[in-house]
A and B are shown apart, each in its own frame.
Chain A
Amino acid sequence: MSAEDPQVDQSRRDLIEEFRRKRIGRHSPDLRLLLNRMRMSEGKRPYILICTKPHREWCLGRKSGARGSEIEVMPEVIFHSPEEAEWEIFKRRWQELTGETLT
């Protein structure tokens, strides 16, 4: 998908807010569609987390689905909750797909 991809509708600020409020769990059908498209858009090296302290701290990484493939670590990108990580990835994907930086 490109920034012009009609499947990601930049005008749907309500979906951004819905995700910002509730990042894991039940979502509206439109947000589900958006999330699935965003998540499947990552191609071969999707974002993953590496747990550095159980239940308390994670850092960002990327890894392809290939067996034994390299795990890229971004030790400077640290999260202290799964929700915080989900929002960061949402913002990154949104930026990649639309060019817009969410705050």
Chain B
Amino acid sequence: MESLMNRSLVASAMVALSLGAAQPAAAQVQAVTPAVAKAVVAAPGTSLAGAAQGDVTVVEYLDYNCPYCRKMHAEIQGLLKADPKARVLYKQWPVFGPVSTYAARAVLAATWQGKDLAAHDALITSPSRLDSQDTVRRRLAAAGVDLARLDRDLIAHKAEIDALLERSQEEAQLLGLRGTPALVIGSTLVPGGLPSAMLQRLVAQERNESQAPSR
């Protein structure tokens, strides 16, 4: 518990570091309590990318039309390639308007045909802005998503999809996220992107600390 708190302090930035003032900084990072960190990873609702039996989970909040989320895709792939025990949970938090929202819903709806990760990859690697629903659908179709099935699932599972998006939004607010992308690695929150190498080190550290006996 104490070590978790300390790590969160660090993540809350250098202000606390230079002051050594634990109390006010702790107040700042209340959002990332271990309970929240755990809740964020628990019951994902979507498939996990990477090792199914992985030990460290990286959570990424993203929007399919956010340029830096697009850039993060390669960094995430780098992590998964380098670290066979890491896994990634994508949380759709659309901030770029209706098309982004549609893209997020479509990826979630693809879960029911087992294509959510394929759908995610297809949209996050789009070479241009997703400027309309048609653009989104074209990319999904090219990735092997059954559009007729998708449309049915979008209607049939509307409530579940709504709930997932709402939940991501709530988590984002709870975590105090200011925008996309944002990463949660254990109880460390990284607002913004991160190069693959840094990501790997954070995952390794998280693994070491979670394996150490809890104090």
Query: Are A and B a genuine interacting pair, yes or no?
Result: no
